[in-house]
Structure 1
Amino acid sequence: MSLLERQTLEQRYAIAVHTKVEAYSKNEDKTKKDNYGGMAFTLPIMIRSAGLVQALHFASTRKKQGQKDFLRDLAAVLGEQDLLRASREASITEYMQLTRKTLAVLVWFKRFAQSILDLDASDVTNQTDE
Structure 2
Amino acid sequence: MSNKLENGRALFAYEKVSLAADHENKNYAKEYRALVRALPAMIHTNGFGAAVGFLFSKSNKKDGKGADSPHQAVLTVLSEWLKRQGMIEDPDFLMKAITEQSRDGYKRMTRETMSLVMWMKRFAEGMIEGDAESVE
TM-score range with shorter-chain normalisation?
0.7 to 0.9
Normalised by the length of structure 2, the TM-score is: 0.79
Query: What residue number does 1:53 align with?
Result: 49
Please list the CA deviations of residues 85-120 of structure 1 after superposition, one character each: whole Å capped at 9, or x if unmatched: 22221110100000000000000110110111234x
Q: Matched residues, percent identical?
A: 27
CA RMSD in angstroms comes to 1.8
**Structure 2 unmatched runs, 5+:** 60-65
Query: What residue number does 1:17 align with?
Result: 13
Matched to 2:77, the amino acid is: D
Please list the CA deviations of residues 46-100 of structure 1 after superposition, one character each: whole Å capped at 9, or x if unmatched: 1111111111112221255122112112221222503222222111010000000
Query: What residue number does 1:66 align with?
Result: 70
- Structure 2 Cα separation of the partners of residues 73 and 27 of structure 1: 15
- Structure 2 Cα separation of the partners of residues 40 and 113 of structure 1: 7
User: Displacement, 1:37?
Assistant: 1.5
Normalised by the length of structure 1, the TM-score is: 0.82
- Structure 2 Cα separation of the partners of residues 112 and 91 of structure 1: 32
Matched to 1:110, the amino acid is: K
User: Displacement, 1:36?
Assistant: 1.4
Q: How many residues align?
A: 120
**Structure 1 unmatched runs, 5+:** 1-5
